Amino acid sequence: MSNIIWTWVAAFFTLAILSFLYKDNPFYKFAEHVYVGSSAAFMVLYVWVFDAYPKLVMGFTEKVGVQRYLLVIPLILSLFILLRFVKPLSWLSVWSISFTVGMAAGLGITGLTQGFLVPQVQASILPLFVKGSTVGETILYTFNNLIIVFGTVFTILYFYFSREHKGVLGVSSKVGITILMITFGASFGYTIMARISLLIGRIYFLLHNWLRLV
Amino acid sequence: MTEFFKKLAGIDRRIIYLTVFLATAIPILTKKTMKIEPLPEVKKAYEYIESLPESSIVMVSIDYDAASMPELQPMLETFLHHAFRKNLKVIMLGHWALGLPLGQQALEDIAKKYNKIYGIDYVFLGYRPGVAAVIINMGKDIKSVFSSDYKYTPIDSLPIMRSVKNYKDIKLLFGLEAGAVGDAWIQYGYARYNLPIILGTTAVMTPDYYPYIQANQVISVIGGLRGAADYETLVEIPGQASIGMLAQSVIHLVIIAFIIIGNIGFLVLRRAKK
Amino acid sequence: MKKEIPLAITFISGFLLVLALFIPHKPFGNLEEIFNDWYIIVSGFTMLLGIDSLLEYNFKKIRRKEKDAPYSLVLILSFFITLIWGVTEIVRTPEHNPFSPTSTFSKYFYNSIFMPLQSTMFAILSFFIASAAYRAFRAKEFNSALLLVSAVIVMLGRIPLGQGAAPYVITVIFLVFAWYFYAESVGITETGTKLLYILVSVAFIALIYPIGWVYLKQHIPSFADWIMNVPQMAGKRGIMIGIALGGIAMSIRIILGIERTYMK
């Protein structure tokens, strides 16, 4: 019985959000505000359950020696963040934010260079002529490699705005934008696929779990 | 003809919405599934998982939430069926806090079907904020990040975790990605520790991962509802993704029709103005 | 002091991580692990920023009895009900975790209220994208036409019905292009250009059968694969290399203290 009630509750909220398609109405506004309020409370619960309790509380009880005393530093930094809500002391929260921003910047440099830039540039260095087992394969693989190498370079050149796009740079940029249009078209196709999949999921819930028609 | 296209251009948007709704609902009501030829990327992912020896330890990362559930939940469920059928051991964690209950629920439900025991055959570690920092530190020592599981049991007391120190003991990371965490797994997990990665991504994110596929930084990517349906076909467990493919096909054709009609109208009206 | 200490913290934390990449041994490797651990703890608390302004804003709306004040009350009530329910489950359940599958919070609140709300919020985007496809997606020039064609081919190539539908879709598209070029040629007086437009129009009609009914009927899935693996991949890589260079530059600026907007 309780399963049926909760299924109807889920269906109510689903239809409340879908009602926005007809026009903005109190049911939609109600559902929207419930979503925002509960999301905020979720964050508070998550911080305690998965961060503060296991890393700080359990850390203080289980760790020994220097490892335990070192936990005082993140504890202080975390409390400084909460001081943002106290106007006279909110300047202390900048210390914690500076730490997180500095860490993010450091992680960003290492990840982007080692994990993306070098391997991707390496993968773009391809032979401009590939001999396949047939003439057709030779033409296809060579053509593919030419598009990958020059397509990547010309796309990057399109975004170089420090010089006017004239002459060789102008021609490269035009080829670059052509490649970009194909890229955006493919992304658009996949975006439609994604959004429709989400709708399929909700309609399946309404037809299968709620109305039991499927 | 010009008047007809003028009327068509000004059509109430709610008629478009109703058309989309019916084009999605009616195929689902027919309950038909479609025969599909799996994409090469999905076949590659399937074959890699098939090649893993029994008792290999795999890690699953829940990096999505309810907004991406229709695409990624079927992928997760199929992977868990695949893994448990092959007697692989599963460690699950997540970087998106709001999606964790979805992952954990699927893990518990499917593990029960294969009589798997918590702590021996699978474990749910939970979530830690920090993404990149979590991935880097787990590469050195998983215990430094997750000293306990989701119910605060010390992981040393769990048999499955006794043979796992870091990524060297993990044969595969299966990441379910709705955002940028997949990039972090590749840029830190693969780049620093050579962690083998297969990603299941939403269709929106899938085009972004093709550069990584070509550079061999990931084994493969299973993209969108189509990827999920392909994976279900290969594992021979029809699920929600396979049911959704007919609706997906119909609505794609409807949207292509909208694009064509819209452009015909545009060209007619442009010529009429000239 | 108020400026110097945060800048020093940013520099030390950022620079250490870069140094630890090149010198992973003691003490830098250990320090990196410790700093990462602190980052895991502190970044969790940053999720709480914004909650106070959300609650404060809605409390103000209620105090001032504004038009949407009842909805602000709904927001605040749902915040506190969720929080209290979650805290109750933390105390009540043996796992002390409200998100475990056995807790009522997860079984009822998450599955029946939160999850439908979140997934439906994003599902309605599909309606808007269909409306945009009809009203706004126009092939005004060559590049936008190329974007459209690429989108249509990928959309057809990724669905099981694609091979069956592709010939019809290509027939309609090519007929539209043929009609467009012929109609444009009517208004052209210069013989050479007029002839060119008519030739293009005839070419589109001639290509309907070989491209639509012979090639794409068989090969649209592999053609979509080719688009994704070759030109799309090249364009994406170019964009992402640009983003990576920009990200690295910004990170260096932050570490060196040139970029200070985060301190406000």
The C-alpha of A192 sits at a distance from chain C's nearest C-alpha, in angstroms, of 7
Are residue A66 and residue A138 in the same domain, yes or no? no
A79 within domain boundaries: no
Of B73, B14, B82, give the one whose Cα is nearest residue B54. Answer: B82
CB pair distance less than 8 Å for C110 and B266:
no
- B154: chain A residues, CB-CB within 8 Å: 62
d(CA B161, CA B142): 9
* Interface residue B249 vs chain A (CB under 8 A): no
- Token pair for C207: 């290509």
DSSP state of B99: G
Closest CB from B14, B132, B244 relative to A204: B244
d(CA B169, CA B166): 6
Dihedral angle computed from the Cα positions of residues B25, B30, B31 and B35, in that order, rounded to the nearest 10 degrees = -100
CB pair distance less than 8 Å for A58 and B148:
yes
Residue after which a domain boundary falls, among A26, A50, A70: A70
- C235: chain A residues, CB-CB within 8 Å: 151-152, 155, 179-180, 182-184
d(CA C129, CA C137): 10
* pLDDT by 10s per residue, chain B, length 274: 777 777 777 788 889 999 999 999 999 999 888 888 999 999 999 999 999 999 999 999 999 999 999 999 999 999 999 999 999 999 999 999 889 999 999 999 999 999 999 999 999 999 999 999 999 999 999 999 999 999 899 999 999 999 999 999 999 999 999 999 999 999 999 999 999 999 999 999 999 999 999 999 999 999 999 999 999 999 999 888 988 999 999 999 999 999 998 888 888 888 787 7
CB pair distance less than 8 Å for C106 and B65:
no
- C155: chain A residues, CB-CB within 8 Å: 189, 192-193
* Interface residue C158 vs chain A (CB under 8 A): yes
A63 within domain boundaries: yes
Q: In angstroms, what is the C-alpha Rg of chain C?
A: 30
d(CA B70, CA B77): 11
* Interface residue B155 vs chain A (CB under 8 A): no
Are residue A139 and residue A205 in the same domain, yes or no? yes
The predicted structure's pLDDT at residue B54:
95
If contacts are CB pairs under 8 Å, which of residues 2-31 in chain C contact chain A?
A: 2, 5-7, 9-18, 21
CB pair distance less than 8 Å for B148 and A54:
yes
Q: Are C248 and A113 in contact (CB under 8 A)?
A: yes
A117 within domain boundaries: no
CB pair distance less than 8 Å for B204 and A55:
no
Is residue B84 classed exposed, middle or buried when 0-12, 13-18 and 19+ CB atoms within 10 A define those classes? buried
Q: Are B39 and C225 in contact (CB under 8 A)?
A: yes
Output phi, psi for A212, to 5 deg: 55, 40
What's the complex ipTM?
A: 0.91
CB pair distance less than 8 Å for B188 and A116:
no
d(CA B106, CA C106): 13
> With 80 as the cut, is the pLDDT of residue A109 above it?
yes
Closest CB from A103, A111, A122 relative to B184: A111
- A75: chain C residues, CB-CB within 8 Å: 41
* Interface residue B143 vs chain A (CB under 8 A): no
The C-alpha of A91 sits at a distance from chain C's nearest C-alpha, in angstroms, of 8
A196 within domain boundaries: yes
Residue B94, helix vs strand vs coil: strand
The predicted structure's pLDDT at residue B181:
96
Amino acid identity at B259: I
The CA–CA distances, whole Å, from A66 to A69, A77, B156, B273, C49 equal: 5, 18, 21, 80, 30
Residue C106, helix vs strand vs coil: helix
- Partners of B127 in the β-ladder: B94
Closest CB from C40, C106, C162 relative to B133: C40
The predicted structure's pLDDT at residue C188:
85
* Interface residue C78 vs chain A (CB under 8 A): yes
- Give one DSSP letter per residue of B102-146, joined into a string: HHHHHHHHHHHHTT--BTTTEEEEEE-TTTHHHHHHHHH-HHHH-
Mean pLDDT (chain A) is: 93
d(CA B66, CA A38): 14
Which residue does chain A place closest to C9, by CA atoms?
A: A99
> Cα B85 to chain center, whole Å?
19
> With 90 as the cut, is the pLDDT of residue C24 above it?
no
Residue after which a domain boundary falls, among A70, A90, A112: A70
DSSP state of C65: T
Owning domain of residue A179:
126-214
Residue after which a domain boundary falls, among A51, A70, A89: A70
Output phi, psi for A213, to 5 deg: -90, -15
Angle between helices B240-273 and A167-204 (to 10 degrees): 130
d(CA C234, CA A189): 17
A135 within domain boundaries: yes
Listed in sequence order, the residues at least 6 apart from C10 whose beta carbon sits closer than 8 Å to its beta carbon are A98, A99, A101, A102, A105, C254, C255, C257
- Token pair for C10: 């940013």
Share of chain A above pLDDT 90, in %: 82
Taking only the tens place, the pLDDT of each residue in C172-228 is 999 988 988 898 888 888 889 999 999 999 999 999 999 999 998 889 999 999 999
Output phi, psi for B214, to 5 deg: -65, -35
d(CA B36, CA B238): 12
* Interface residue A188 vs chain B (CB under 8 A): no
A103 within domain boundaries: no
| Binding partners of B (≥3 Cβ pairs within 8 A) | A, C
CB pair distance less than 8 Å for B244 and A46:
no
A168 within domain boundaries: yes
d(CA B204, CA A192): 8
> With 90 as the cut, is the pLDDT of residue C3 above it?
no
Closest CB from A98, A101, A155 relative to C235: A155
- B129: chain C residues, CB-CB within 8 Å: 40, 43-44, 47
Which residue does chain A place closest to B100, by CA atoms?
A: A46
> With 90 as the cut, is the pLDDT of residue C101 above it?
no
The CA–CA distances, whole Å, from B23 to A199, B28, B29, B188, C15 equal: 11, 9, 11, 43, 55
CB pair distance less than 8 Å for A33 and C251:
no
CB pair distance less than 8 Å for C237 and A46:
no
CB pair distance less than 8 Å for A114 and B187:
yes
- B101: chain C residues, CB-CB within 8 Å: 99, 101, 106, 110-111
d(CA B252, CA C123): 15
Amino acid identity at C80: F
Per-residue confidence at C113, pLDDT binned at 50, 70, 90? very high
* Interface residue B13 vs chain C (CB under 8 A): yes
Which residue does chain A place closest to B202, by CA atoms?
A: A194
CB pair distance less than 8 Å for A41 and C155:
no
A35 within domain boundaries: yes
- C28: chain B residues, CB-CB within 8 Å: none
Number of domains in chain A: 2
Average pLDDT over residues A189-209: 93
Q: What is the residue whose two structure tokens read 């939430």? A: B65
